[in-house]
Structure 1
Amino acid sequence: MKQHFLAFAGLILASGSFYACKSAEDTVKEAENEVFAIHDQVMPKIDDIMKLRKQLNQRITSLDSLKASGSTAATLRTDEEREQAYRLRTNLAVADSLMMDWMGRYNGDTLAKLSSDDALRYLNGQKDQITDVKTKVNTSIEQARQFLGKK
């Protein structure tokens, strides 16, 4: 048991000294790579957002036609469904806008001009922001797909 503990402790110390040998530049680059890994997961989903918005627009048009020819009971249900479609379409537009805003505000060119600590603080903030964008994009897509009956 004592040998296992010593081996584990040695491994921890060795890995700690490995991380201590990383340069501040490497640490900043790793943090930037983490931010862009999240960005790269989200960016292809912008096409999905555009397609879903188009489908929701078509559904809204269809509901408008149905309402024009329907009864009072059908009109109430149609109005509720139409409101939901509008809300989902708005959520998709907001998610798309958040992604475009984040890309427009990201300023990776200045990282080299910042101290390592400041660069890491900036990248941590950017990671939080792009993670929030990812959550909103994924949620809006999932909700729209469910509404439209797609998986």
Structure 2
Amino acid sequence: MIKPIRTVFVLLALGGLFWACGKSDDETVKEAEDEVFAIHDEVMPLIDDVMKLRKRVKARITTLDSTKAAGSASTTLRIDEERDQAQRIVRNLSEADSLMMNWMDQYKTDTIAKLPSEDALRYLDGQKEKITDVKAKITGSLTEAGQYLQKK
């Protein structure tokens, strides 16, 4: 019973190896670039949400400032703490937006075609890592802002 399973596994592995070897360098580079842009295309629409939430959190800060002016000393302390939290969230949202814009500014599509395949793949691997970091920052800051605004 184990022998047929092992045989099937070996055949599948060999088939995958032959398939991978059959790709041209251009196809491999194109697939790597497609992976990078799949992440970009998933995250880019979230920039609108970043802007909207940043605006809402800033409006909350304005409300807190107005409330603080009319409040007691104990209220002032609570408002100051919440204001600090809101300002940190605004900074995180701004940073997420900046990271995306910076990534798009530095990405060099036309350079990839001029590079040897090995260098192009190395470049794309680095770009995939960068855009994945941007995605994490954007989704994290959106989650944080959403949770903050829900409790208010």
**By the TM > 0.5 criterion, same fold?**
yes
- Pair 1:141 & 2:132 matched: no
- Pair 1:54 & 2:25 matched: no
Q: Which residue of 2 aligns with 1:77?
A: 78
Residues 1-151 of structure 1 aligned to structure 2 (within 5 Å): 1-149=2-150
Please give the secondary structure, in 2, of the residue aligned with 1:13: helix
Please give the secondary structure, in 2, of the residue aligned with 1:7: helix
List 4+ stretches of structure 1 deviating above 4 A.
none
TM-score normalised by structure 1 residue count:
0.97
Please give the secondary structure, in 1, of the residue aligned with 2:85: helix
What residue identity is the alignment partner of 1:120? L
Q: Residues 83-119 of structure 1, C-alpha deviation per residue, up to 9 Å, x if partnerless?
A: 1101100100000000000000000111110000000
What residue identity is the alignment partner of 1:49? V
> Gapped runs of 5+ residues in structure 1?
none
* Inter-partner Cα distance in structure 1 for 2:12 and 2:91: 52
Please give the secondary structure, in 2, of the residue aligned with 1:70: coil
What residue identity is the alignment partner of 1:32? E
After the TM superposition, which of the residue ranges 23-32 and 141-150 deviates more from structure 2? Answer: 141-150
Please give the secondary structure, in 1, of the residue aligned with 2:77: helix
* Inter-partner Cα distance in structure 2 for 1:35 and 1:16: 23
* Inter-partner Cα distance in structure 1 for 2:130 and 2:12: 35
Please give the secondary structure, in 2, of the residue aligned with 1:77: helix
TM-score normalised by structure 2 residue count:
0.96
What residue identity is the alignment partner of 2:10? A
Q: Residues 29-68 of structure 1, C-alpha deviation per residue, up to 9 Å, x if partnerless?
A: 0000000000011100000000001101110010001000
* Inter-partner Cα distance in structure 1 for 2:4 and 2:94: 59
Q: Residues 1-41 of structure 1, C-alpha deviation per residue, up to 9 Å, x if partnerless?
A: 32222222112111210110011100000000000000011
* Inter-partner Cα distance in structure 2 for 1:142 and 1:7: 45
What residue identity is the alignment partner of 2:146? R
Count of paired positions: 150
